[in-house]
């Protein structure tokens, strides 16, 4: 019995170690008609668009377009952070692109990042 | 005068196994429980490789939704439709509001899943009264 118990113990120790560690990104949620701003808002929120253009992921803030993370984080970090960042994700890219956009917002120092799903 | 030539029998202290067995059982129970809890609702997914935020990881999710690479949804290893998720999310939002807490369900989405699937699930959650979510990442890089 002790042998069996030891085997079970070893099994659970090994499988527990193998279990992949996970972390979290915690965006707020907003739907399309709430993201555009209302008359009561004093600040224009920063909007980061994530879409697929010609088969590759494109991040854009206004008319500025980015393909890589470094320049995107740099550009985001220069924006005023009080109003927060809205990440509008269009259909087309993969989830990794959406997660990268949220992470870039966090890396740039935005405390409030809001995910706006664009259901097309 | 004869002396007893025989040496006194060596006293052997019996090895007491009881504490060790107790500890082994305790460890076994611990690993059984933690393995069960960690595997529950955990589909085998390639999560987005992002560093995450390293905050409020201990907060109870209440609802864990897996988005598979093909865009389908699973809750607790069972396939679910968008209507079922909407119903569960409404219940969660109501319960959280009654407790005075903010519901933050955990969405575990495969990194190769289309954003259309993620967008649909997040807009459904939002319309059900969920103000924020947590998106699981794998801090690999």
In a domain? residue B97: yes
Residues of A in contact with B67 (CB under 8 A): 95
The contacts of residue A19 (CB under 8 Å, 6+ apart) are B35, B38, B39
In a domain? residue A15: no
Predicted confidence (pLDDT) per residue in A63-117, tens digit: 899 988 899 999 999 988 887 899 999 998 999 999 999 999 999 999 889 999 9
pLDDT of B101 over the 70 cut? yes
Whichever domain contains B83, its CATH number is: 3.30.420
The contacts of residue B136 (CB under 8 Å, 6+ apart) are A22, A23, A24, B47, B106, B107, B108, B109
Q: Which domain holds residue A104?
A: 26-117
pLDDT of B1 over the 60 cut? no
In a domain? residue B103: yes
Whichever domain contains A113, its CATH number is: 3.30.420.270
Predicted confidence (pLDDT) per residue in B27-80, tens digit: 888 887 776 666 555 677 889 998 888 665 556 668 889 999 999 999 886 889
Scanning B65-94 for CB atoms below 8 A from A yields 67
In a domain? residue A30: yes
Contact between chains at B137 and A103 (C-beta distance less than 8 A): yes
CB A24 within 8 A of CB B137: yes
Give the percent of chain A with pLDDT over 90: 42
In a domain? residue A113: yes
- Using CA of residue A111, residue B59, residue B78, residue A29, what is the dihedral sign? negative
Count of domains observed in chain A:
1
Of B52, B109, B132, the CB nearest to A23: B52
B38 close to A (CB below 8 A): yes
Residue B53 pairs in a beta bridge with none
Contact between chains at B133 and A100 (C-beta distance less than 8 A): no
Count of domains observed in chain B:
1
In a domain? residue B98: yes
In a domain? residue A63: yes
In a domain? residue B87: yes
In a domain? residue A98: yes
């Amino acid at each position: 019995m002790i042998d069996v118990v030891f085997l079970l113990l070893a099994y659970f120790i090994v499988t527990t170690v193998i279990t992949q560690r996970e972390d979290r990104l915690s965006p707020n949620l907003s739907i399309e008609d709430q993201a555009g701003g209302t008359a009561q808002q004093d600040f224009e929120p920063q909007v980061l668009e994530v879409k697929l253009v010609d088969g590759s992921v494109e991040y854009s803030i206004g008319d500025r377009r980015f393909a890589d993370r470094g320049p995107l984080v740099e550009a985001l970090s220069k924006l005023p952070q009080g109003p927060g960042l809205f990440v509008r994700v269009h259909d087309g890219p993969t989830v990794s692109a959406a997660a990268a956009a949220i992470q870039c917002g966090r890396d740039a120092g935005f405390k409030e990042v809001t995910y706006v799903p664009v259901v097309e | 005068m004869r002396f007893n030539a025989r040496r006194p029998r060596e006293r052997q202290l019996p090895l007491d196994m009881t504490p060790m067995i107790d500890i082994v059982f305790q460890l076994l129970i611990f690993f059984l429980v933690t393995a069960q809890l960690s595997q529950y609702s955990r589909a085998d997914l390639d999560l987005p490789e992002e560093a995450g935020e390293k905050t409020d990881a201990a907060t109870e999710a209440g609802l864990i939704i897996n988005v598979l690479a093909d865009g389908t949804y699973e809750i607790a290893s069972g396939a679910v439709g968008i209507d079922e998720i909407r119903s569960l999310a409404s219940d969660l939002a109501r319960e959280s509001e009654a407790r005075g807490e903010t519901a933050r369900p955990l969405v575990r989405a495969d990194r190769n899943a289309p954003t259309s699937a993620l967008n649909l699930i997040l807009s459904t959650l939002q319309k059900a009264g969920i103000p924020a979510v947590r998106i699981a990442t794998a801090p690999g890089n």
